[in-house]
Structures are given as C-alpha cells and as structure tokens.
Amino acid sequence: MKISIFKMNPLAVLFGLLLLLTGCSQTVTRVDSDTVTDLSGKWNDTDSRLVSQEMIQDVLSRGWLTKFNREQGKAPTVIVGTVRNLSHEHINTRTFIADMERELINSGEVEFVASAKEREEIRAEVKEQDLHATEETRKAMGQEIGADFMLQGSINTIVDAVSGEQARFYQIDLTLIQLGTNRKVWVGQKKIKKTIEKGGFRL
C-alpha cells in the first residue's frame, strides 16, 4: 500500500522536515590556538608546536653552540632544510618547519637566513632593483650571508590496530649539519604515541 506524501498530515511533514534540518545543523566554536584538539589521533598543530619547541630547546642547549661561539666569536647562522614526511599519512611539514624557524629566531642564540625557496623571490627582487631602483636605494647582488649549519629531518609513523583500538607511533628525527664539512654536530629525536578507541575506524 502506497501513501502519498500529499495525503499525510501537514504538521507531521513539517515536524519531520524540522528534525531533518536540525540533524544537519553545524555548530562552530572558536577556541584558543594553543588548545589541544586531538580529534582523529593524527599528527596535528599541537604535535607540531610542542615537538618543535622541545627539539629546538634541546639543540640550543648542547655543546656545539658554545664551541662555535668560542671558536668563531659570533653566533652561528642556521638554515632549516628539508623535513621529509615518511609517514603513512599526509603531514604538512611546512607548518612544522615554520614552528622550528620561529623557535630558533626567537631564541636569540643563532642568526637565521631565508630558505632556498624564499631566496629565489628575494633574488628576483634584487635583480629588479638593479634595473629600476635609484642608486641610493638599490641592493647589490652578492651580499647574502652564508649559513654555517643546516637543520634537516624526517617524520616516521607506525600504526598498530586491532579490535576497535588503534595505536599511532610518531618518531621525529632531526640532524644539525655543519656546511662545508658535512659534520653532524647534533642529532635529536622525539617520540609520540597515541591510542585511539572507536568503532569502525579506517587506517
């Protein structure tokens, strides 16, 4: 037996539509950017911020910095190179690199230079100035400061799951390398382990 929607009680139809609309509604709440929001258990902004803070504090507390200051009589110049994402999930390593750059610059312990990609745009601007800017304001080529050290690293993960429970293990490895000699002056490692309990998740 078929029942036409037009023969149903209009109030019942209206009530049903209201319930449907209510179920599809979305609530947005603003929270502080430092608030921990582990929704999926995946790498997130909190992991990026806390790991960068801890690892930069560690690299700046080691002997290579004191030795360089004593031998060279100045603060070392550092550049952040590539941080490779070797994990099973998509991780925006640019935000992690930016967090490390901020911690290094704000420490006041080292000088910092632009990355290779940033230098491309800067060099293009200097070339433009050479053609179009006045003699008093143009910047000359060949005045860049060379970095003494490069910070490189990788992010790896291991996922273990059984019976509705999942464990995510993150290992972040960073290495500080002296340019010219390729000597490793610091190796740092940070590990994060999360457990997630829910039904029907997908890896």
**What's the Cα-to-Cα distance from 94 to each of 11, 54, 82, 203, rounded to whole Å?**
54, 18, 9, 24
DSSP string, 96-115: HHHHHHHHHHHHSSSEE---
What's the start-to-end Cα distance of the chain, in Å? 45
Distance CA 102, CA 106 (A): 6
Q: How far apart are the C-alpha atoms of 37 and 49, rounded to whole Å?
A: 13
Task: Indicate the pTM of the whole model.
Answer: 0.76
Set out the domains of the chain in order of their start, with CATH numbers.
Answer: 39-114+141-197 (3.40.50.10610)
On average, the pLDDT of the chain sits at 85
Q: Model confidence over 4-42: pLDDT tens digits?
A: 555 556 666 666 666 666 655 677 676 666 666 666 778
Does residue 125 contact residue 144 with C-beta atoms inside 8 Å?
Answer: no
Evaluated on CA atoms 116, 100, 34, 159, the torsion sign reads positive
Count of CB atoms within 10 A of residue 87's CB?
Answer: 20
Percent of the chain with pLDDT over 70: 80
Q: Compute the distance between CA of residue 114 and CA of residue 128 in angstroms, rounded to an integer.
A: 19
Q: In what order do the strands lie in the sheet with 111-112?
A: 111-112, 77-85, 149-162, 165-178, 183-197
Residue predicted with more confidence, 93 or 2:
93
Q: What's the pLDDT score for residue 160?
A: 84
